[in-house]
Structure 1
């Protein structure tokens, strides 16, 4: 009787991975798993911290490297060479350059012809002041404030810095006209009574009839770009407002609380005193000796001459700058 014999052991050992290789492979897998878990935890904590900071009203700060020598304030002046003499243009440039050099500001001189392609033949050329300011912001992306001032205005007090005269928080808080009808004399839409200087992105004046976009200060940022884009919207340009960009501004400030909530209305004579021949000044809005700016509003009308009206004040300004040297 035969019995099955147990299988014989092979004399050749089966192949196997060395102990050190198995350990190394397992270790790498463990490290990769730990790395993935750590990355996930850090990412979740980062996004949660930003979320709770945003919902609690705290600032979310991003470090921006501002190039040395960047001016805090840029003066924006729009010239229309087709309507102004070369001598007149040079006088305005002299006025702006002197003021900017005294306070470390920069100038952005814009040419109306560079923006006319955005308008049709029926739309007034005055509209292009809006893209001119937008252009200045793109050229000076790290500057904080932009002071747009009409080419028909002179800075008469070169010693006054914009910071001390307007922008310092305590000063701006004292200047803001709160609970004031946006469009005079009795618009039902009024400036916010609870507005503070830290909320402000746009500083402007009004005369006896409207908001006055010939002299305003705007702060660089997302809000200002939004505001300028809304103001220059094709629908507003095609609407045929009687006073073009001025009435468009009246409209959007009254109907868009997002814009009104960032606007400070200040007395006219702070940055926009009218000359004695200018129409529709606010009460007390006509130029007095010592005012920061004189604006020859409407001097380009047929019965008036900007050059003639500006000449005595330009001479007065020259004497002041000479005495300051």
Structure 2
């Protein structure tokens, strides 16, 4: 759909402050299209693309109309992808994989594919690997730029593998992808405190039970290797067994507590090359990468920006962000 054909979306008011008739007609067309895509609805409700809801809420049709008349469409939403409209240009969500071959038809708005893209962030996709992924020849080449025939670097290859896992069907005729199964099984393992051995046995049974051409990862090691790049960083920090101090920063290389003198590592008999095991350790979850992920993710970015972007009414204060302070 040409953006000019939907210029009415951002011409809501006329010079007198009244709603343009073209905008009203356009909203009716939008509602008609949204209601025709039953697989993108929640019962009789559709996603509301107004500036307040940002396509995150399913609302009754009449309320969606009211929101659009009052708030207008979210910025730059010429393609109604959340209502099922498909892109026609060759983008990362198009029907080709990294090698240019056809991908399984899992739908335009594949949430697991979006999880992968959110995890790597927009900055990663601005490099040459983004061009090679889309199989688009650059208009001009530079001697210093990597050739299109070069193998992707390890970090890019991890992205490609995850995107392939998000799109590849588990077996011919399956309705779920490899990444869907892996994600759900890891969640089951966590919620039920399942051992690694139990996980392996269950996945091996699943692999045998499915058709021979299935691509089930039948071990925890393979699963962890695939999804490792999706996770957020965690740091392990050794502690004094009695809780006196952390072996961190300037104290990172100490072998005993500066307060109580307790040894940092357990005594082990045998070769000195054996791995040192601390008496106690803690897990630190860095805050900055988690905030970056919240702003990068399509599912949470709108909520993170809400305090700045939400609609304000004059002389009405509903939230601290409505005040000048």
Larger Rg: 1
TM-score normalised by structure 2 residue count: 0.22
Flag the structure with higher strand content: 1
